Amino acid sequence: MSDLSYVQSVVLGVVEGLTEFLPVSSTAHLTIAEKLMGLQVDAPEVTAYTAIIQLGAIAATLVYFFRDILRLVVAWGRGLVGAEARRHHDYALAWAVIVGSIPVAVVGFALKKVIEGPLRSLWVIAVALILWSGVMWLAEMRHAKLLRESGERGEGTVSVRDGLVIGLVQCFALIPGVSRSGATISAGLFRGIDRVTATRLSFFLSIPALTAAGLYEGATTDLSNLGVGQMGLGIVVAFVVAFASIAWLLRFVATNTLMPFVWYRIALGSVLIVTLATGLITAT
């Protein structure tokens, strides 16, 4: 991994920043990019590098949503010491994010070797891209039905139960190809939450999950083997691209469904299956 060039670092940073928050699976796109660049996709160093450059995307989330995050932290702190503050919806929303972050941390740690080993296969990614597209389609159908029957729920109605349900569904995103944002946004739509709120909640839930993953890899991996300069460049590029991606996605979901992403995922998964079946590329 120390032979990773600065050009490759830029490519991986762009891919990470562009796909981390879109419901298309950043792991799938990073794995494909790494494979095309001749890297061993299931090597520990490659897996660690993928997790660490996510810190750039997380930094973009922290900057973009700084005021919202500060608001939730303050509301949570006030709610811990005052009964009146606990009636504010921001207190419940803060707990929803906290509770929703626990399942993926527990499952991710327990299945770490499986996730970074056998599941780092392009066959797994191809199948997951297609199958989870069906879940996203069902989520849109369910959301449309709820919209006709009872209307959408906004951010002020998000409960701790919503956070737990969405957090449990987020565990499916540990399977490469599913997409963390695709899982969490879909879960939000199933719960009747409006698309923008579901997307914002997806961003909030990404902060603990991706930060923990990146810091864990950084603490347990020999960073000198990764190429410190290359890694730093990848993080910076991921930050810049992710910031723009966040702004674009929030504008997109305000007036559009997830269906364009569904068709894209199906197309990408199908192309992967064909290339794997014909031997044009190998799965790992």
- pLDDT score of 217 more than 80: no
Q: Of 164, 170, 184, whose CA–CA distance to 96 is shortest?
A: 164
Question: What does the mean pLDDT of the chain come to?
Answer: 90
What pLDDT score does 247 carry? 96
Query: Given pLDDT bands bounded at 50, 70 and 90, which one contains residue 183?
Result: very high
Per-residue pLDDT at 1: 45
pLDDT greater than 60 at residue 123: yes
Q: What is the pTM of this model?
A: 0.91
Mean pLDDT of the 100-105 span: 92
Average pLDDT over residues 204-230: 75
| Domain assignments of the chain as residue spans, ordered by start | 6-277
Residue 224 has pLDDT above 70, yes or no: no
Over the stretch 242-284, which tens digit does the pLDDT of each residue have?
A: 999 999 999 999 999 999 999 999 999 999 999 999 988 887 7
Q: Which of 44-58, 91-105, 154-168, 252-266 bottoms out in mean pLDDT, i.e. has the lowest? A: 44-58
Predicted pLDDT at 231: 85
CA distance 255 to 187: 19
Least confident of 31-40, 134-143, 184-193: 31-40
What percentage of the chain reaches a pLDDT higher than 70? 95
Mean pLDDT, rounded, for 37-65: 85
For range 221-230, the mean pLDDT: 70
Q: What is the pLDDT of residue 226?
A: 63
Per-residue pLDDT averaged across 177-188, rounded? Answer: 95
Task: Supply the pLDDT for residue 168.
Answer: 96
Residue 140 contacts residue 259 (beta carbons within 8 Å):
yes
pLDDT tens digits, residue range 62-102? 999 999 999 999 999 999 988 888 888 999 999 999 999 99
